[in-house]
Amino acid sequence: MVVESPKIGFLTTALIEAESGGDRLVVKWFGQGCNDRMRGLSRSKSAFLAGLAAVTLTAIEPPANANAVVLPGRVIVSLGLLPGGTTSRATAVNDQGVIVGYGDTAGGGNHAIRWNPDGHITDLGTLPGGTYSYAYGINNRGDIVGYANNSGGNERAVRWAPNGTITDLGSLPGRTSGYAYGINDVGAVVGYIPIQSKTYHAAKWQPDGTVSDIGAESPLGSTSAAAINNHGVAVGITYEVSPGHYHEAVTWSAAGDKPTVLPPLPGGGPRSSAQSINDKGVIVGYSQSGPGAPTNYPVHAVLWGPGASAPTDLGTLPGGGDDSFANGVNAAGVVVGASATKDPGNRDAVLWRRGKNGWRIVSLPRLPGRDYSEATAINNGGEVVGEASTASGPGVAVRWE
């Protein structure tokens, strides 16, 4: 069943490389099946991922069940666009059903967006003198984080209060930029800060505004944090900015500033990412499913559970392509993301749920007649948000309810 909402109007598989001669990290997004659709939505979201504590991992969980079903009763709702815009993407949702993301405006630049549960869409605007902004995280108090450029052209980590007021979170001493991607319910924020050319460090902003470098001691030179749970545990990646595209999933303990690398899939290669973490310490993301150069092998959605010596392979859609990734997990351990279909380049938004017989993968509805969708986040009430292609081609923010 599909519903278009007239009242209302992204982590993922990626290869990381740097622009020559600059601090901005460019992410080449592959897992979205929308290279052409989303080309106008410039993203400098570097390393995605969220976190789990530095834990001792001991036992391997059973492999995921490859059964796939269509979840009965789920409805897809288009969240719509900013006035004059052509595309939008939902990136996070809190337990009150408030959704955030971004979309283009009539002038062509991207602005952070908030969608209220009643369907009202709000342009969150930019920093004074700035021209664009992006929202990536929201907590249950309604605080939103992301980044925006300022009048000097620098990209700054920002927070929007529930009333829409925007605040520049600042950067490390001597640094001019910053990017925020995750926030917990007490107001701690994580993201990354460019340190020098081709070097980036994960950063944490405390509720009082203090910012600290938590990525200086990283195995591959650079780090980025994408999420933080209510215990202060963060997750993300460590990586090297090079043609090799090597990156590994990592986690930071609440009090730590040294990341711990999470184990890859057995027999897998050097490409993994942690995208989300719940308060039980369950982390989800993806891991390369075969050995060798990262660009030569697909990735599978995975789950790192506390006490496990290897991640659980959540698998892919039966009969589809050999590629999937997980973007979010809620308190009940329900996981969302996307999986390749039988048509090359296409993705379906999916949900993984563990039952008596193992993990089950569930396809979520698409918009009518379209070939691409991706689930980016899930709240504790089971509401899922993300993006789906439309009849006219560009992707639009959606909610599955």
Q: What percent of the chain has a predicted confidence (pLDDT) above 90? A: 69
The kind and range of the H/E element at 132 are none
- Sequence-distant (6+) residues with CB within 8 A of 219 are 238, 248, 259, 261
307: CB partners within 8 A, 6+ apart: 55, 56, 57, 58, 59
| Choice between 62 and 178, residue whose per-residue pLDDT is larger | 178
98 or 32, which is more confident? 98
**What average pLDDT does this structure show over 249-268?**
93
- Domain containing 332 equals 2-400
Structure-token pair, residue 357 = 């017989």
Tokens encoding 245: 């595209």
122 versus 12: the higher-pLDDT residue is 122
More confident call, 362 vs 33: 362
Comparing C-alpha atoms, which of 375, 350, 379, 396 is closest to residue 98? 379
pLDDT at 66 over 90: no
Angle at 276 between CA 270 and CA 282, to 5 degrees: 90
314 vs 345, residue with greater confidence: 314
Q: CA-CA distance, 228 to 389, in Å (whole number)?
A: 29
Q: Tell whether the model's pLDDT for residue 42 goes beyond 50.
A: no
Question: Which is more confidently placed, 240 or 57?
Answer: 240
Distance CA(214)–CA(201), nearest Å, equals: 7
Q: What is the distance, to the nearest Å, from the Cα of residue 140 to the centroid of all Cα atoms in its chain?
A: 18
Select from 241, 239, 242, 234 the least CA-distant residue to 275.
234
Question: 390 pLDDT band (50/70/90 cuts)?
Answer: confident
| Contact indicator for 271, 247 with CB cutoff of 8 Å | yes
Is residue 17 within 8 A of residue 28, CB to CB? The reply is yes
Mean pLDDT value of segment 373-393: 94
Q: Which two tokens stand for residue 73?
A: 């009763």
Question: Is the Cα torsion angle 200, 105, 227, 308 positive or negative in sign?
Answer: negative
pLDDT score of 169: 98
The confidence score (pLDDT) of residue 246 equals 82
Rounded-to-integer distance, Cα 86 and Cα 391, Å? 12
What's the total number of domains in the chain? 1
Give bridge partners of residue 276 from the DSSP assignment: 284
What pLDDT is stored for residue 10 in this prediction?
Answer: 27
Of the candidates 130, 134, 99, 128, the one whose C-alpha atom is nearest the C-alpha of residue 9 is 99
| Beta strands per DSSP E along 253-366 | 260-261, 272-277, 283-288, 299-304, 312-313, 324-329, 335-340, 347-355, 358-363
Question: Half-sphere exposure of residue 384, counting CA atoms within 13 Å on the CB side?
Answer: 30
Chain segment 284-319, per-residue pLDDT in tens = 999 999 877 666 689 999 999 998 899 999 999 999
Confidence of residue 257 (pLDDT cuts 50, 70, 90): confident
**In one letter, which amino acid is 321?**
G
Tokens for 65?
Answer: 């069940």
Task: Indicate if the pLDDT at residue 24 is higher than 60.
Answer: no
Distance CA 322, CA 296 (A): 12
Structure confidence at residue 191 (pLDDT): 98
Tell me the C-alpha distance between 103 and 397, whole Å.
Answer: 9
Q: What pTM was estimated for this model as a whole?
A: 0.84
pLDDT band per the 50, 70, 90 thresholds, residue 339: very high
Per-residue exposure over 206-224, b if at least 16 CB sit within 10 Å of its own CB, e if not: eeeeebebbbeebbbbbbb
- Distance (Å, rounded) from C-alpha 250 to C-alpha 238? 7
Kindly report the average pLDDT of the chain as a whole number: 83
| Stretch 146-158: mean pLDDT | 98
3-state helix, strand, coil in the chain (%, to 5): 0, 45, 55
- CATH number for the domain spanning 340: value is 2.130.10.150
Q: How far is CA 83 from CA 88, 92, 199, in A?
A: 11, 21, 38
Of the given ranges (7-21, 119-133, 228-242), which has the lowest mean pLDDT?
Answer: 7-21
Q: What is the pLDDT of residue 270?
A: 82
Whether the pLDDT of residue 60 is over 80: the answer is: no
